[in-house]
């Protein structure tokens, strides 16, 4: 694996301190403020380590405080319920003695049922979209926000259909569409693929609303932070194979924005749905 991908995978392999108690790795982006997707992916992995033979089907999380990337995060898992078909877990992430993040996750024993999904949007195939190229020679001279963006994306092959600032659909609603997969193959561990996709799902989702308001990511008057995050896992998938991440802006008001996203395989299967509300504060 590349160094960036190896760091991501090894960071998601939590250290077990005690029953239901785990510790994450430090330093994911070289910037003090922890990327929210890192905490989300680690929290999901902590919950998964307490459940057997039942994949996660949904999670709902809140980001409470900014986390420090230079110190480890501790994850406590409460085994809320283990029923015949479903298991429920509550995860609290703690740093410096305070909760910084909470998550409820549900797990479901695989079973057959009614099968339906909406049609995947019509987009060009990944081979016809140019990969995002990063200028690492100028990394040290870039603002922290751009450094975070580059290091978070480093483990992935990212191909932005609509460019960095997104686009609009036929009705004029803001959208961002990207093909993405890890830069190299991952082990055949479904739990790891779900944790990596949770990590990735926080990348750029709330940014979908920026272009609609005339902002770019580099605008220093804009403060952006994840407030909550929800995911629903519909079907099995591999994150080392091409996935279309289709994001759309829903609303922005009161210094908050809501966006939703969907991950599709290149064959058109909807595998994961995502929703997130984020802080979008404009400094006067």
Q: Tokens representing 271?
A: 């595998």
Residue with tokens 């799902």, as numbered in its chain: 201
List the beta bridge partners of residue 133.
none
Strand 256-265, strand 270-282: pairing: antiparallel
Per DSSP, the three-state class of 282 is strand
Q: Are 86 and 107 in contact (CB under 8 A)?
A: yes
Q: Quick check: is 202 catalytic?
A: yes
Q: Are 74 and 95 in contact (CB under 8 A)?
A: yes
Structure letter (DSSP) for residue 114:
-
Q: Quick check: is 87 catalytic?
A: no
Residue with tokens 């005339």, as numbered in its chain: 214
Catalytic entry in 87, 178, 226, 252 = 226
List CB contacts of 83: < 8 A, sequence separation 6 or more.
none
Whole-angstrom distance, CA of residue 115 vs CA of residue 74: 38
Structure letter (DSSP) for residue 34:
P
Q: Are 246 and 264 in contact (CB under 8 A)?
A: yes
Per DSSP, the three-state class of 97 is coil
Catalytic entry in 106, 202, 240, 252 = 202
Percent of the chain as helix, strand, coil, to the nearest 5: 20, 40, 40
Catalytic entry in 95, 201, 252, 276 = 276
Residue 140: how many CA atoms within 13 Å on its side-chain side? 1
List the beta bridge partners of residue 89.
79, 105
- Which amino acids are annotated catalytic? 202, 226, 276
């Amino acid at each position: 694996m590349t160094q960036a991908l190896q760091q991501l995978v090894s960071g998601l392999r939590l250290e077990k301190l005690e029953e239901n108690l785990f510790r994450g790795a430090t330093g994911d982006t070289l910037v003090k403020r922890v990327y929210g997707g890192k905490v989300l992916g680690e929290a999901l992995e902590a919950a998964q380590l307490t459940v057997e033979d039942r994949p996660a089907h949904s999670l709902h999380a809140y980001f409470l405080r900014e986390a420090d990337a230079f110190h480890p995060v501790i994850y406590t898992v409460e085994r809320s319920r283990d029923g015949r078909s479903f298991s429920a877990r509550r995860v609290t992430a703690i740093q410096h003695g305070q909760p910084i993040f909470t998550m409820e996750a549900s797990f479901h024993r695989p079973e057959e049922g009614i099968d339906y999904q909406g049609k995947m949007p019509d987009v060009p195939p990944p081979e016809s979209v140019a990969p995002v190229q990063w200028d690492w020679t100028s990394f040290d001279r870039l603002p922290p926000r751009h450094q975070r963006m580059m290091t978070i994306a480093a483990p992935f092959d990212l191909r932005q259909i609509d460019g960095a600032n997104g686009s609009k659909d036929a009705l004029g609603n803001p959208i961002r569409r990207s093909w993405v997969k890890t830069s190299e193959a991952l082990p055949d561990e479904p739990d790891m693929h779900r944790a990596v996709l949770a990590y990735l799902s926080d990348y750029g989702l709330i940014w979908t609303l920026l272009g609609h308001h005339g902002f770019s990511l580099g605008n220093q008057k804009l403060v952006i932070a994840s407030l909550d995050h929800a995911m629903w896992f519909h079907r099995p998938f591999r994150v080392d194979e091409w996935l279309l991440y289709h994001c759309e802006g829903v609303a922005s008001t009161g210094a908050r924005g809501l966006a939703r996203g969907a991950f599709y395989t290149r064959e058109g299967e909807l595998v994961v749905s995502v929703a997130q509300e984020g802080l979008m504060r404009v400094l006067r």
